[in-house]
Amino acid sequence: MREIIYSNFNKLNLHDSKLVSFALTDSQDENGGDEGCFVLRIQRLDSQAQNSYSPLQIIFTECAYIKIEMDIAVFAMCSHDIAGTSCNRETPLLKELIAQGDPAYHDKLQFTIALIPPSGRIDVVAKDFRLKQI
Question: Are 88 and 62 a contacting pair, CB within 8 Å?
Answer: no
Q: What is the DSSP string of 69-120?
A: EE-HHHHHHTTTBEEEEEEESS-HHHHHHHHTT-GGGTT-EEEEEEESTTSE
Q: For 8-17, 23-32, 99-108, 113-122, which range has the lowest pLDDT when averaged over its residues?
A: 23-32
Reported as a single tens digit per residue, the pLDDT across 1-26 is 888 999 999 999 898 899 999 999 87
Q: Domain range for residue 23?
A: 2-133
Given a cut of 70, whether residue 97 has pLDDT beyond it is: yes
**Total count of domains within the chain:** 1
Output 35 or 70, whichever has higher pLDDT. Answer: 70
Peptide bond into 55 cis (omega under 30): no
Residue range 88-110: mean pLDDT, rounded: 92
